[in-house]
Structures are given as structure tokens and as C-alpha cells.
Amino acid sequence: MGKTLDVARDRAFDQTKTVLPAEVARGTYMQNAPSLQALKLMHLMIGTAGGRMADEVQHQIRLSDIRKIDGMRNHDRASLTPLFGELAAVVLTHDDPEKMVVTIGGLLDEAKIDYRDEVGGDLLVSWWFRRTFRSMAAESNHWAILDRQTVFHLGSKYSVLLFQHISSLVKLDRIEAKTFTVPELRAVLGVTAGKLDRFANLKAWALSPAIAEINQLSRLTLTATPNKIGRTVASVTIGWQVKDDPTPAKRELQGHSAGRKARRDGSVEAVAVAFPITGGIAYSERWLDIKQTAGCNADNQKIASDFRRFLADRDIARDAMNIEQLFEDFCRKIGKI
């Protein structure tokens, strides 16, 4: 039995931390990376299972307990069902060079949502982990200890995947940086084939926002240094340091998300808001101004629907830190068509 389970058992009563096997934390082991909300659900499931994550047993949590968590408060049966579907589609690949065996399996065996007490305002959620995940957890000797509040406040799947990956490396002796080829970085961030193909787009819409958000909300400070061959970026070196004083990050976690972008940018005028969840932007001065500044004459209803589809395809939250810049860039592109 590996050391990871011992660490998880020792922290069984610490509801502020989740012990994640490094094999899961490092996204290169994971294919079909799920969306932001599904990743948060995965962290909650593993944290709930704790030292029993390798056991072939049923794990349970009530919806009322899920809703106590910031970032998970609005879930119900309809929203949880597709998230479990995403987690069931996750593929875990583990290469054991000593045994010379590659294992391909999954994370989730089966999940059930018991809604017999739905009228009373609660549901019972239960699940079983698949054999591959359980074996991976049982044999793991490396782990990431993640602050749950940080994970549940991050605003994109790119931020969560990068945060959990780097967290699994932080305690390695004399290592304060890691170099990723661009394909490896795409795998770590969970960027699917055909999306963000140019490095400039990968940096602008995934890497840079993720690093800025992690730096603001976590105990870590990350840096990214592109390494070029000629004029082409061949790899990126990501460095990290543990903050001497995590107080500002804790204060950000306790504050309202609406002001985070302004504080991150050092601006007192800009205030981050979420893009409308439905409808157009005809009665929203903020989004109309951005659209007009970009020189776009598209229909207000259509451009709102198209932008929401754009965000969904890239697993970007509607209140992401750079949501206004993303909308402006989107409007400029539409305006040129």
C-alpha cells in the first residue's frame, strides 16, 4: 500500500484540504478532461472518500452538503447528472516502467442520485470509483495536498488542472520549475484537439489567465517562460514559489468574486461581472459599450448566444477574470466577418 492513502487518512478530519494522488493531479495521466464544474465535483468526491478512496465501497454525500460549498451552491439533480456523465468518460492511463505495464481505465464506475426526498429539499448522491483509479490511489507514493477553498473558487478548468499539477510538484526536493513541451502543456491544461491551436491563443485564453488566477487565489506564485527555437515557441518553463505570506490570497477567497479582476489589475474602476446567462445584451450598457468599442454591428441577441457557445466550447466560466477582454476580442472577430 502506498503512502498517499496514509496521508489521506491522517487528514480525514481536515475539511479544508484534499489529498489527491499525484497520478491524478498531473493532468497528463488524464484524457477527456472534464469541465470546470465536473472537476470541482471530482475533487469533492475524492476529498469525501479520503483514506477510503482505494476501497471497493460506495461513497455518499448529500446535496445539502454539496450546496454548503462556495462554487457548488446552485447544483440540483438536473445539473449533477451530466457532470457524472463527464466523469464517467474520463480515461486514466498509468505507465509503470518497473513492471513494464501500461494500464488504461477510468475514474468513475457508477453513480446514483436518489431523489426520493427531492420534495423535501435534499438528494442522496452515491458513487463507486473504478478499479484503475482505486489501484492508482492504492499504489501512489506521491500526492498533492490542495486547499479546497482555492479549487472551488477557481474560474476555469485550465486554472484547476494547472493548480493541481503544480501542487503535486511543489514538495519535490530542489525542484522549483518544470519545462513542458507545448503538446505536454496542452495536455496539462486539458485543451482538446482543434482548440487554441496557435500558442498565442493558448497563452492568451488558457495559460496566462490560469496563472494570474492561481497567483491571486492560492499559496503559490507561478511564472511562465516561453522557450523558442527560432521564432517558434517549443516549450514553456513554469516556475513556482510558495508565498511567505498567504494572507492576501485568503482575503481574496473570502471576498466577493465581482471585484477580483479589478484588484488583480490594480484598477479601481473596472469591476468584473459575469456575462449574462441567458438573453441578449440590448439592455446591458457594459456589454453594449464593449461591443460598440470593438466596431461590431452584429445582432445583440445572436452575438450573446454565439459568445456563450464560444465560452462553453472552451470551458471558460462566464465570470472568468478576462471575460470582458474575451468578449471584446470575440466582437472584433465577428465585426470583420
Mean pLDDT in residue range 296-318 = 90
Between 257 and 108, residue with greater pLDDT: 108
pLDDT tier, 267 (very low <50, low <70, confident <90, very high otherwise): very low
Q: What is the pLDDT of residues 199-222, one digit of tens each?
A: 999 999 999 999 999 999 999 999
Is the confidence at residue 93, as pLDDT, over 80? yes
pLDDT tier, 333 (very low <50, low <70, confident <90, very high otherwise): confident
Domains annotated for the chain, with CATH where assigned, are 1-153 (1.10.10.10), 175-268 (1.10.10.10), 285-335 (no CATH)
pLDDT of residue 1: 63
Is the confidence at residue 27, as pLDDT, over 60? no
3-state secondary structure the chain: CCHHHHHHHHCCCCCCEEEEEHHHHCHHHEECCCCHHHHHHHHHHHHHHHHHCCCCCCEEEEHHHHCCCCCCCCCCHHHHHHHHHHHHCCEEEEEECCCCEEEEEECEEEEEEECCCCCCCCCEEEEEECHHHHHHHHHCCCEEEEEHHHHHHCCEHHHHHHHHHHHCCCCCCCCCEEEEEHHHHHHHHCCCCCCCCCHHHHHHHHHHHHHHHHHHHCCEEEEEEEEEECCEEEEEEEEEEECCCCHHHHHHHHCCHHHHHHHHHCCCCCCCCCCCCCCCCCCCHHHHHHHHHCCCCCCHHHHHHHHHHHHHHCCECCCCCCHHHHHHHHHHHHHHC
Whole-prediction pTM value?
A: 0.77
Mean pLDDT in residue range 101-120 = 91
Of the chain, the percentage scoring pLDDT greater than 70 comes to 91
pLDDT tier, 325 (very low <50, low <70, confident <90, very high otherwise): confident
pLDDT of residue 99: 84
